[in-house]
Amino acid sequence: MRVALSSASVYPESTASAFELAGRLGYDAVEVMVGIDPVSQNVDAIEHLVDYHQIPVVAIHAPCLLITQRVWGTEPWGKLQRSAEMAQRLGADTVVVHPPFRWQRDYARTFVDGIAELEEETGAAFAVENMYPWRASTRQLQAYVPGWNPVDHDYANVTIDLSHSSTAGSDPVQMVKDLGPRLRHIHLADGSGSAKDEHLIPGHGNQPCVELLELLAEDGFAGSVVIEINTRKATSRAARQADLAESLAFTRLHLVSREPDLVGGPPPDVDAPAGVRRRALGG
């Protein structure tokens, strides 16, 4: 099971910085968020980063966020096709995609069947990500069609994001169990249940991160666990690096803690940040 770093986790630093930090900290791979950074849109530039840092790309996140509506044009199916082409060129087998926004009516109308057709045509796994209802004062707005919860729809491949499950008030462990072999990809983060999509460091919120990681280890999950946290408020590069190092140590610790030959779990990694070691010891 690979533990990868999302390039979104280093924002406002660049895609190139994500590769540098992933290599320095010992991540297994990078997930490239195709966004407003021109490097993230350029497969030649990404290939150069892969070669230079000797770290592979495990997934491409298609440009389907509000802020990336005009990246690679405005035609949504064309964006997905181009994402698959980038993934294939880089040796990645997964494209992460959000369900359509409600106002993308034509795209939404054929989305489920269209994703299946794209998978057959390209050979890439389009892992549809869980989202959440938007909250406006006391009301919830259903912003995604056919729905924010991919468990309820006939997708062959799904991404579960724990910050999104926090905002939605859903149980990511139960979602993983319900998905069974349809689970392809994990975006590991945390949340406090806020209406904001927080993407906290794993272990800093109320999501069952430990339980989920242990379940993945027990089940022999063959996909990737991708750290996708928000480090925008980091006061320095050193602080951002510490957050990414803590997230990696936390993830690796709990992915091995339920192996049969490690009764009671392994001792905390001496190289792990102090906060991770304390939580591992129950402190």
103 DSSP 8-state letter: T
Residues 69-114: pLDDT tens digits? 999 999 999 999 999 999 999 999 999 999 999 999 999 999 999 9
Residues 238-275: pLDDT tens digits? 999 999 999 999 999 999 865 544 434 444 443 555 45
C-alpha span between 141 and 230 (Å, rounded): 24
Residue 25: CB atoms within 10 A of its CB come to: 16
Q: Is the pTM of this model over 0.85?
A: yes
Q: Is residue 84 a contact partner of residue 30, using CB atoms and an 8 Å limit?
A: no
Residues 13-28: pLDDT tens digits? 999 999 999 999 999 9
**3 state DSSP class of 187:** strand
- pLDDT for 277 beyond 70: no
pLDDT for 261 equals: 47
For residue 25, give the amino acid letter. Answer: L
Residue 75: CB atoms within 10 A of its CB come to: 11
In angstroms, how far is CA 150 from the centroid of its own chain?
A: 15
More confident residue, 146 or 271: 146
C-alpha span between 73 and 1 (Å, rounded): 34
pLDDT, mean of residues 187-192: 98
Query: Domains in the chain, start-ordered, CATH in brackets?
Result: 2-230 (3.20.20.150)
pLDDT for 126 equals: 99
